[in-house]
């Protein structure tokens, strides 16, 4: 198979992914970033998990998330050439997912996190293949796979460098509309009680036009209070979504930064990539805005 994703190309791809992802997160101030990828299999959609966006879902068949997942899970060490070809296929499939994520220039937080998770899996299997090829006395092929690992590392480093993290203070919920609404409701309730007292009591007497005036005033105050309550709810929702997005941006940046160093660390220490490396990704809940609502309320 001809090598398509060279070092210069993957660097460029990483820069593009970083810019598009950070622009998507920081540029849209009115909604929580979320875009369902076409072809997502319902079995893989679990709310609050980055698997809610499975790239390449149509390529893996029924049992697998995508073709990359199939290649990784079914990988077996065989002969020199077959093992080396597996490395090439896995490497290329990973960058096909990257290309799919950026194809519409609208990559979001969920997809970025998914790519980082798959990066860990791809790097780990490529390191396993490198060791296997060395044991099979195919050092030349092992070196080629190591170059792919370097390319993979260059991609994630470029992604990390291009992912812009804007230091922004969290917004505070404006409670003035709520206070106005509460005061309005209290006044309206008092007027309602007063009106009922007038109509029921035989001792109190007011002209009908005054009664009607008080009645319509009470209704108007109720409407104004309800309007301010809606304004408060909408403002609170916008603030929570904004703060949610800022926190997600910071967490995404942190996850990408960790990933950008993991291959170099593993190569220097000659150790396998730990499964713990993806824990920081698993703990992020991109869609669970209820958490932020409860915490900030």
Q: What is the pLDDT of residues 68-116, one digit of tens each?
A: 999 999 999 889 999 999 999 999 999 888 888 877 766 777 777 888 8
Q: What is the pLDDT of residue 27?
A: 59
CB 82 within 8 A of CB 107: no
Residue 276's pLDDT band, with cuts at 50, 70 and 90, is very low
Q: Average pLDDT over the chain, rounded to whole?
A: 75
Phi, psi of 38 (to 5 degrees): -65, 140
Question: Which tops the pLDDT comparison, 158 or 180?
Answer: 180
Q: Closest Cα to residue 54, out of 110, 93, 104, 124?
A: 110
Q: What is the pLDDT of residue 148?
A: 87
Q: What is the pLDDT of residue 30?
A: 33
Tokens of 190: 């008092």
Q: What is the CA radius of gyration of the chain?
A: 29
Residue 198's pLDDT band, with cuts at 50, 70 and 90, is confident
Tokens of 219: 């209704």
Per-residue pLDDT at 296 exceeds 70:
no
Q: Closest Cα to residue 147, out of 130, 131, 134?
A: 130
CB neighbour class for 118 (10 Å; exposed up to 12, middle 13-18, buried from 19): buried
Residue 167's pLDDT band, with cuts at 50, 70 and 90, is low
Residue 49's pLDDT band, with cuts at 50, 70 and 90, is very low
Length of the chain: 297
- Overall average pLDDT of the 201-214 stretch: 79
Q: Closest Cα to residue 155, out of 13, 16, 5, 3?
A: 13
Q: What is the pLDDT of residues 13-42, one digit of tens each?
A: 777 777 776 676 665 433 333 333 433 333
Instruction: Domain ranges for the chain, please list them.
Output: 7-170+252-279
Q: What is the rounded CA–CA span in Å between residue 249 and residue 232?
A: 26
- Overall average pLDDT of the 187-216 stretch: 84
Q: What is the pLDDT of residue 98?
A: 86
Q: Closest Cα to residue 188, out of 215, 214, 213, 222?
A: 222
Tokens of 100: 């799919």
Q: What is the pLDDT of residues 238-264, one digit of tens each?
A: 998 888 877 777 777 777 787 777 776
Question: Which tops the pLDDT comparison, 124 or 53?
Answer: 124
Q: Closest Cα to residue 27, out of 253, 284, 245?
A: 245
Instruction: State the SS3 of the chain.
Output: CCCCCCHHHHHHHHHHHHHHHHHHHHHCCCCCCCCCCCCCCHHHCCCCCHHHCCCCHHHCCCCCCCHHHHHHHCCCCCCHHHHHHHHHHHHHHHHHHHHHHHCCCCCCHHHHHHHHHHHHHHHHHHHHHHHHHHHCCCHHHHHHHHHHHHHHHHHHHHHHHHCCCCCCCCCCCCCHHHHHHHHHHHHHHHHHHHHHHHHHCCCCCCCHHHHHHHHHHHHHHHHHHHHHHHHHHHHHHHHHHHHHHHHHHHHHHHHHHHHHHHHHHHHHHCCCCCHHHHHHHHCCCCCCHHHHHHHHC
Question: Which tops the pLDDT comparison, 175 or 168?
Answer: 175
Compute CA 200 distance to the chain's CA centroid, rounded to the nearest angstrom.
60
Per-residue pLDDT at 203 exceeds 80:
no
Q: What is the pLDDT of residue 44?
A: 38
């Amino acid at each position: 198979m001809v090598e398509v994703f060279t070092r210069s190309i993957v660097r460029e791809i990483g820069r593009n992914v970083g810019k598009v992802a950070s622009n998507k997160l920081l540029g849209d101030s009115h909604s929580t970033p979320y875009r369902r990828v076409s072809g997502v299999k319902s079995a893989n959609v679990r709310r609050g998990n980055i698997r809610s966006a499975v790239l390449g879902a149509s390529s893996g068949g029924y049992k697998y998330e995508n073709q990359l997942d199939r290649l990784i899970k079914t990988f077996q060490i065989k002969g020199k050439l077959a093992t080396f070809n597996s490395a090439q296929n896995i490497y290329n499939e990973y960058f096909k997912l990257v290309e799919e994520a950026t194809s519409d220039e609208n990559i979001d937080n969920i997809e970025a996190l998914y790519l980082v998770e798959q990066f860990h899996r791809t790097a780990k299997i490529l390191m396993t293949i490198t060791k296997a090829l060395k044991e099979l006395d195919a050092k030349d092929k092992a070196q080629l796979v190591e170059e792919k690992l370097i390319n993979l590392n260059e991609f994630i480093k470029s992604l990390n460098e291009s992912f812009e993290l804007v230091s922004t203070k969290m917004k505070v919920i404006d409670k003035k509309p709520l206070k106005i609404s509460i005061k309005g409701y209290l006044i309206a309730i008092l007027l309602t009680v007063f009106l009922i007292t007038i109509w029921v009591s035989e001792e109190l007497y007011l002209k009908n036009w005054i009664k009607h005036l008080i009645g319509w005033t009470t209704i108007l105050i109720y409407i104004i209070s309800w309007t301010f309550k809606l304004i408060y709810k909408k403002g609170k929702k916008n603030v929570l979504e904004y703060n949610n997005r800022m926190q997600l941006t910071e967490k995404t940046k942190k996850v990408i930064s960790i990933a950008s160093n993991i291959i170099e660390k593993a190569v220097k220490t000659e150790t396998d990539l730990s499964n713990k490396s993806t824990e920081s990704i698993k703990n992020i809940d991109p869609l669970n805005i209820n958490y932020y609502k409860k915490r900030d309320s």
